[in-house]
Structure 1
Amino acid sequence: MPTGSEPMTARSPLRARFWLSVWGLAWATFGTVIFALVGRPGWAVACGVLWLVVAVSMAVVLRRMHQGSRWQPGRDVPPYLPPEGRRR
């Protein structure tokens, strides 16, 4: 049940997402190379696109990890207001 303090107490599994990205980059690189050597250019391109998506995801994760756990959005982001009328 939501308590209204979720943004202050929420934790994101960034380390798990980082290591899954590393795993995805390794497999996408492996797939791109193998499919290119075997002569399957369509699959090689698909693995290359997957590699690009995983690399962008990893960049976002690293940026958020670098910001730290105490990062707060700027003044242009409205404050979170808990839903009215809910009681524990």
Structure 2
Amino acid sequence: MYDAPRSGSEPRTARSPLRLRRWLAGVFLPVFAVAAALFAYGATRSGPGDSPSSTVLAALAGICAALALATAVDLLVVARRLRAGRGRSA
């Protein structure tokens, strides 16, 4: 594993705030999932002359779905790290 040279300003035992990451992922996973579903629903209900167009709504649905997937993966990574005991002092 690559160890970057220390700049001297960070503590030697610095840790990632895993519990904060878990809380944020837990809050935003349902937000992104609901937003993706609502944008997808709006894309299916959008007509030819509507603004925003169904293409824009579908793109927003895809972006929200990708963010929900990334948030779910982060939630799994954080849970694995907390189980391994890396977040005891966070």
TM normalised by structure 2 equals: 0.64
Which consecutive unaligned segments of at least 5 residues does structure 1 have?
71-88
* Moved >4 Å (runs of 4+): 1-5
Q: Does 1:14 align with 2:31?
A: no
- Post-superposition Cα deviations, 1:19-50, rounded to whole Å, max 9, x if no partner, equal 10011101101111110111121111111111
Q: Does 1:38 align with 2:42?
A: yes
Aligned CA distance change for structure 1 residues 25 and 3 (closer, same or farther; 3 Å): closer
Which consecutive unaligned segments of at least 5 residues does structure 2 have?
1-6, 44-56
**RMSD between aligned residues:** 2.4
Identity %: 35
Q: Secondary structure at the match of 1:12?
A: coil
The aligned residue for residue 72 of structure 2 is: 55
